[in-house]
Amino acid sequence: MTDYDIRKRLEAALRSRAGQARTDHPLSYAQSPLLMLHQMNPDSASYNVAFTARFTDGFDSAAFRGAVQSLVGRHAALRTTFGRVGADGQGDTAGRQTVHGWLEPDFAEPDARQWSEQRLKDAVRTAYREPFDLTTGPLVRVRAYQVADGEAVVLLVLHHVVCDFWSLGVILAELEQLYLAEAERRPSQLPGRNVPYSDFVTYQHGLIAGEKGGRARAYWQEQLSGRLEPAEWPRFELDPADADEGGSIVFPIAAELAQGVFALAKEEGVTPYAVLLTAFQVLVGRYTGQRDVLVGTPMAGRTDPAMAECVGNFVNPVVLRADLSDAVSFREQLGRTRRTVVEALEHQDYPFELIVGELAPRRVDDRNPVFQAMFSYQKPSRYPALAGLYIADEGAAPVAWAGLTALPYRLDQQDDQLELVLEVVHDGDRLVGLLKYRKSVFSAEAARQATGNYLALLRAALADPGRGVAELPLATEVDRGTTPARRAVDVTPRSGPAGAALSALERRVTAVWQQVLGREAIGPDDNFFDLGGSSRLLMQVHTILADEDAEKPLKVHELFRYPTVASLARRLAPAAAADATGPARGRASSRRVQLADGTARSARLRARERHRPDSDGGKDV
């Protein structure tokens, strides 16, 4: 028996013993809403983070399995499970995460050598869309589809609660070294210890409570003061069958445009991110007719250098506000963007969900609070080759990986969490666009026109940066004459005489709300969110009222559907249990749920294809 064999047996024995070890930690602010969303929709796969590639030139499944096991051993986040929010029955909404000494990853090697290409694609998509159980784990799923001798299509899936886009770069870089070590039957040369994600949680809570957190809070309170009007998109002819889905379009950015972006960025002392973002803000302004444009962008959230090699969910969205009212030149607007982004970077550590909870913007049915459009710039710093493998467009080149060749393998993205999202991927000297859109707002044709309009704006701005932003031409004019009014959460009073006596259930619900919200004056038709409620506080309501109806226990997502005392009391009434089809007045949208802590997500999310949700683009400005 070789030294390698002895070492592997020892590792297996240690893992078996370590499996009994448990340590509990609080959640980060990025994890809390994801845990609540999972509780509302445990069968959803919308927050699955995926990487796919076809490996050739001698792929060894056994070596890859060993590399994945070593990776899981190196990163505590990959051995984590999560308790239910409010599970202690005491109204605790913080939630907990448990790090296991060992948690075996879900690894399988299907024999696909006789499969058609379509069967293979269907199998990859099905495995990708399979939901995770956050309470039992594991939250790492790997499939190595053997398509030929020494060749496999690999799918790596993790839940977003333990992984972000930066983390994918860390994972791919470490897997390469771990795979080489396994293939060569030797120890890897990687450092022996990674900072655990729980260190970041401690760091984040301390930062928020300190002076820096106070400055960041004050900055965002001032930056987002005033009316935060939701975007009003034009009405497009839509396919009713697509109302609950999202779509995506990959589109190339011509080489001369990409070079123009790099050149203008250098000339103006900004980054390509700022140039591309400014053009997108102008596009959103044209489509919505608004001059006060609010666009979200994800920040990497790794302001502590010690966290650079840590796997976990660090991403925090920030709001970039653009004033287009005075129609200055694109060059001057670009300067404004740079200043805004630099300030946002400086104050990026303050969690978005806290900001929204403090601002308490007016609830608008079916929409993300504060911003409905997002821009991200994907330029992986930890593992640059991830860019081409992630976008997997026709121009993406094969990548050398651990003595193998990794070929891009396309996995379509279907994402409707926001109404319009533009990602620009920086792959070497290439720029590639990915537009994601909600099909209940944009048709496929309207989305294609939006990509054409973005490129037209960008081309005109690069040709003459001194031209006014209001004068930059679109490829296709947008008709705003049919813009629909967006519907606010319905708080229409119920029928009946004013001041009518409350029922016993209404008094019960009112008492619970008074306890949770800490206020006395609550009427039967008041909206929970208008009274200062948040998704975290709503979890306390659920903990208290979950078993009120023994025949039909109250589900978390139903609390979003019945946001008034009167409507919730009707749901809890015995008669309501027999008729689940009529929540009546005071009901918020049942298709999507607005979380008052800043993460508006679907209450009936279907398992849609999703390749990657986050970006480290906010770092490169």
What's the average model confidence in pLDDT over 617-621? 43
On the CB side of 247, how many CA atoms lie within 13 Å of its CA?
17
The span from the CA of 180 to the CA of 148, in Å, is: 21
Please give the mean pLDDT across all residues of the chain. 83
Query: What confidence tier does 525 reach under pLDDT thresholds 50, 70, 90?
Result: confident
Please report how the helices 504-517 and 535-545 are oriented relative to each other, as an axis angle in degrees rounded to 10.
140
What's the sign of the alpha-carbon dihedral 47, 48, 49, 53?
A: negative
Residue 400 has pLDDT above 70, yes or no: yes
Q: Give the residue with greater pLDDT, 259 vs 499.
A: 259
What confidence score (pLDDT) does residue 244 get?
A: 61
The span from the CA of 159 to the CA of 137, in Å, is: 10
What confidence score (pLDDT) does residue 503 get?
A: 85
The span from the CA of 244 to the CA of 602, in Å, is: 9
Residue 279 has pLDDT above 90, yes or no: yes
Q: Give the residue with greater pLDDT, 534 vs 209.
A: 209
What's the average model confidence in pLDDT over 334-338? 97
What's the average model confidence in pLDDT over 391-397? 89
Query: What confidence tier does 599 reach under pLDDT thresholds 50, 70, 90?
Result: very low
Asked if 478 and 286 touch (Cβ cutoff 8 Å), the reply is: yes
What confidence score (pLDDT) does residue 550 get?
A: 59
Q: Can you read off the two tokens belonging to residue 140?
A: 């790492």
CA-based nearest residue to 293, from 302, 285, 304, 283: 285
pLDDT tens digits for range 529-570: 777 777 667 777 877 887 666 567 777 767 777 888 888 888
What's the average model confidence in pLDDT over 125-134? 93
Q: Give the residue with greater pLDDT, 104 vs 615.
A: 104
Which residue type, as a one-letter code, is found at position 555? Answer: K
Asked if 261 and 276 touch (Cβ cutoff 8 Å), the reply is: yes
Lowest mean pLDDT among 119-133, 267-281, 362-376, 458-472: 362-376
Q: Can you read off the two tokens belonging to residue 608?
A: 């849609």
Residue 208 has pLDDT above 80, yes or no: yes
Asked if 603 and 40 touch (Cβ cutoff 8 Å), the reply is: yes
Query: What confidence tier does 572 reach under pLDDT thresholds 50, 70, 90?
Result: confident
Query: What confidence tier does 583 reach under pLDDT thresholds 50, 70, 90?
Result: very low
Q: Give the residue with greater pLDDT, 373 vs 382.
A: 373
What confidence score (pLDDT) does residue 598 get?
A: 38
Please report how the helices 211-223 and 330-346 are oriented relative to each other, as an axis angle in degrees rounded to 10.
150
35 in helix, strand or coil? Answer: helix
Q: Give percent of the chain above pLDDT 90.
A: 54
What's the average model confidence in pLDDT over 590-602? 34
What confidence score (pLDDT) does residue 125 get?
A: 92
What confidence score (pLDDT) does residue 591 get?
A: 30
What's the average model confidence in pLDDT over 189-210? 91
Q: Give percent of the chain above pLDDT 70.
A: 83
What confidence score (pLDDT) does residue 234 get?
A: 93
Residue 589 has pLDDT above 80, yes or no: no
Best-predicted range by mean pLDDT (6-20, 27-41, 211-225): 211-225
User: What value, to the nearest 5°, has the Cα angle with vertex 417 and ends 412 and 419?
Assistant: 95
Residue 615 has pLDDT above 80, yes or no: no
Please report how the helices 255-268 and 444-463 are oriented relative to each other, as an axis angle in degrees rounded to 10.
50
DSSP string covering 325-367, please?
TT--BHHHHHHHHHHHHHHHHHTTTS-HHHHHHHH-PPPBTTS
CA-based nearest residue to 612, from 403, 425, 340: 425
Say how many C-beta atoms besides its own lie within 10 A of residue 182's C-beta.
23
Burial class (CB in 10 A: 0-12, 13-18, 19+), 232: middle
Residue 338 has pLDDT above 90, yes or no: yes
Beta bridge partners of 22: 100
pLDDT tens digits for range 472-484: 999 998 887 644 4
What confidence score (pLDDT) does residue 488 get?
A: 37
What confidence score (pLDDT) does residue 557 get?
A: 67
Classify the phi-psi angles of 250: left when phi > 0, otherwise alpha if psi is within -120 to 50, otherwise beta: beta
Q: Can you read off the two tokens belonging to residue 204?
A: 């984040």
Share of the chain residues as helix, strand and coil, in percent rounded to the nearest 5: 40, 15, 45
Residue 4 has pLDDT above 70, yes or no: yes
What confidence score (pLDDT) does residue 501 get?
A: 66
191 in helix, strand or coil? Answer: coil
What confidence score (pLDDT) does residue 585 get?
A: 34
Query: What confidence tier does 18 reach under pLDDT thresholds 50, 70, 90?
Result: confident
Q: Give the residue with greater pLDDT, 590 vs 126.
A: 126
What confidence score (pLDDT) does residue 528 get?
A: 82
The span from the CA of 594 to the CA of 534, in Å, is: 9
Q: Give the residue with greater pLDDT, 174 vs 364.
A: 174
What confidence score (pLDDT) does residue 247 get?
A: 84
Residue 577 has pLDDT above 90, yes or no: no
Q: Give the residue with greater pLDDT, 193 vs 294.
A: 294
Instruction: Please count the residues of the chain.
Output: 621
Q: Give the residue with greater pLDDT, 288 vs 479.
A: 288
Residue 468 has pLDDT above 90, yes or no: yes
Beta bridge partners of 25: 97
